[in-house]
């Protein structure tokens, strides 16, 4: 397969993954659930989806990077948001999740912390 064909296939795969993420509601910024029952269902669903995307990504390695890994990282990050002990879950991920995906999860966590800091600063400005 020529390089141009590989790039075109990678773009099509990325578009398919984005469409799948949208269909599953993974591209929204809706807050995580709050009740324990909802959290448990949400956690289970995110972990299942993350595993499915990981498995699909491993099978569909395109031009050096699996297209499904971003979707898997998004699911795993969302699972961390509701897990009672996220550090413990993150340690489990270190044993089972491929490094590129784990790096994406850590980047998402860092961005989330940064956004929370900005929100806190805005609130403080309003109160001052």
Structure confidence by residue, pLDDT tens digits, 51-96: 988 888 766 555 445 667 888 999 999 999 999 999 999 999 999 9
Q: Report pTM.
A: 0.74
What's residue 63's pLDDT? 45
**Is 1 in a helix, a strand, or coil?**
coil
Question: Do the strands 65-66 and 61-62 form a parallel or antiparallel pair, or are they unpaired?
Answer: antiparallel
Residue 4: Cβ-neighbour burial (10 angstroms; 0-12, 13-18, 19+)? exposed
Query: Is the confidence at residue 102, as pLDDT, over 60?
Result: yes
Contact between residue 53 and residue 71 where contact means Cβ atoms under 8 Å apart: yes
Q: What is the pLDDT of residue 60?
A: 57
The residue to which tokens 């990077």 are assigned: 65
What's the chain's average pLDDT? 81
Domain borders along the chain are 3-127
Whether 101 contacts 76, CB under 8 Å:
yes
């Amino acid at each position: 397969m020529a390089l141009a064909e590989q790039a075109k296939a990678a773009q099509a795969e990325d578009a398919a993954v984005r469409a799948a993420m949208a269909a599953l509601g993974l591209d929204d910024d809706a807050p995580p659930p709050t009740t324990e029952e909802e959290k448990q269902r949400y956690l289970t669903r995110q972990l299942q989806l993350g595993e499915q995307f990981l498995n699909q990504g491993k099978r569909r390695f395109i031009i050096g990077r699996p297209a499904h890994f971003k979707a898997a990282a998004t699911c795993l990050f969302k699972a961390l948001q509701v897990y009672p002990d996220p550090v413990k879950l993150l340690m489990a991920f270190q044993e089972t999740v491929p490094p590129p995906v784990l790096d994406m999860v850590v980047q998402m966590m860092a961005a989330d912390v940064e956004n929370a800091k900005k929100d806190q600063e805005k609130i403080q400005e309003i109160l001052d």
